[in-house]
Structure 1
Amino acid sequence: MHKPPTYKPFGNTAILIEWQAIISEEILNDIILFRDKIQKEKSTLIADFIIGYNSLTLKYTNEISNYSDETQQLQSIYQQDLKRQQTEKFLWEIPVCYDLEFGIDLRELSEKSNINIEKIIKIHSKKIYTVFFIGFLPGFLYLGGLDSRLYFDRKPNPRLKVPKGAVAIGGKQTGVYPQESAGGWNIIGRTPIHFFNIKNENPCFAKAGDQVKFKAISLDEFYQTEKEITENKYLISKKLLND
């Protein structure tokens, strides 16, 4: 059983709530449950909830007048025995092309790890990852569950341009760049899926607590899927999970 969270002011209009500094699905579930409890009690007072690996930041609509009183209220809410709402969670299947045209760091990682490229792809695409939070860029999913054989340090000199859709490994994490940006993760493939679209009701289709599985596809399949997405003929495969 993990320790209860701690609280600290985060400017005049926010409170940072922190759990133990570990990546844990138990802690993630506790964070999501606490967020749901707060939403039930203070929905009109909180402008935004920001989830991290081991934190929940509350951004208030107005300045916090009495931090001590507010913290005591939050601690009381945390202790409430509230039955978890049946929140919809999904397993998203994301097609990824690991062809060397896209997986530009695969050879280097293979040499460093003494694992052949085919096995790296198999290890990476076999796992089911948990979405812990969204950050760095809009739609950038921080995924937990990477096989320890694929832990690779970030590059000492980040690239100035990492292409949109690049699937990469950074330290003990894997993720997908939702747009072109600078980045120091090791690129092992690319997906044609759009992870962030401001025009959609939910700009990012996934949320904290969801799961992701990567499906290896060929170069031809990549371009065919890309075409279907452009023509609005492609739906991301998803499976409803029991909460």
Structure 2
Amino acid sequence: MNKFKLTYSRFSETSILVEWPPYISPKILNDVLLFKNYLLKNDSESIIQITSAYCSILITYGFNSVDIDAQIASLKSKYDSRQDFEIRPQKLWKIPVCYDLSFALDLKELSLEKNLSIPEIVRLHSEAIYKVYFIGFLPGFLYLGGLDKGLFMPRRKSPRQHIEMGAVGIGGEQTGIYPMASPGGWNIIGNSPIAFFNPKLEQPCFAKAGDCIQFVPVDFKTHQEISSHVKNKTYKIESEAIDG
């Protein structure tokens, strides 16, 4: 099992920031999530929330007064002396995406910039298996790692004031989907008709950090059909269990 040199620091009067080496790495992410899940399972009475990112966790305690130094010492001991952490089951989610130019506002520009045909861009984007590193920016916005280097594209110099819900974009070395209409500066190359966030559900976002995403190209007609099923609550996202 991988062990990393971690740093521990006071973040507030009731929270501690634990940081791994500052790299976007599946091995680091796996270690982050294993330690997070271990703490949630074994310290659930004292911890009210753990928020994870690429290479860190923010631990918030439920006490009005926290002995930060004592808690840091406890965290160090738990991480350094661990024998094994329970692996959380993970899933591969297959997400339909329509790359039709009526949705793909920046696909032609990306094609010219990268000297790649549109079908080649679609192939590269949809063949990759993406890792969900964390969820943020907007509720249900999945930060995905694993984009083909040939598709890296800086964010737009002038962000748009309105991006449609379900817009699939590329921003730098990442790809992602806007779960709701919002301003945004990513390069839009398609649209997914499914819902990525529903506050009425016990688990508002179906995916979790550590899960994987693969995009499945669909044509415009299929996109509209899926959209209707989503509105009628008769669409089920295809998924399969994968090794952690």
Class of the TM-score when normalised by the shorter of the 2 chains: over 0.9
Match status 1:94 vs 2:95: yes
Runs of 4+ displaced beyond 3 Å:
none
Distance 1:2 1:148, change over 3 A: farther
Alpha-carbon distance in 1 for matches of 2:61, 2:99: 43
User: Which residues of 2 match residues 136-155 of structure 1 at below 5 A?
Assistant: 136-155=137-156
Taking structure 2 as the reference length, the TM-score comes to 0.96
Amino acid at match of 2:20: W
Q: CA RMSD in A?
A: 1.2
Q: What's the offset of the Cα at 1:91?
A: 0.2
Q: Which runs of 5+ in 2 are unaligned?
A: none
Alpha-carbon distance in 1 for matches of 2:183, 2:156: 12
Alpha-carbon distance in 2 for matches of 1:95, 1:118: 16
Q: What's the offset of the Cα at 1:207?
A: 0.2
Asked whether the 8 Å contact 1:2–1:20 carries over to 2, the reply is: no
**Aligned position for 1:72:** 73
Alpha-carbon distance in 2 for matches of 1:235, 1:43: 32
Asked whether the 8 Å contact 1:97–1:191 carries over to 2, the reply is: yes
Match status 1:51 vs 2:80: no
Deviations 1:64-117 (A, max 9, x none): 532111100000111232433242210000000000000110011111111111
Alpha-carbon distance in 2 for matches of 1:86, 1:55: 18
Q: What's the offset of the Cα at 1:2?
A: 6.3
Amino acid at match of 2:208: K
Match status 1:189 vs 2:190: yes
Alpha-carbon distance in 1 for matches of 2:3, 2:65: 28
Deviations 1:29-73 (A, max 9, x none): 110111122123311111111110111111222245321111000
Amino acid at match of 1:105: D
**Aligned position for 1:220:** 221
Taking structure 1 as the reference length, the TM-score comes to 0.97
**Aligned position for 1:105:** 106
Distance 1:132 1:222, change over 3 A: same
Name the % identity.
43
**Aligned position for 1:239:** 240
Q: Which runs of 5+ in 1 are unaligned?
A: none
Alpha-carbon distance in 2 for matches of 1:229, 1:53: 31
Residue 12 of structure 2: SS of its match in structure 1? coil
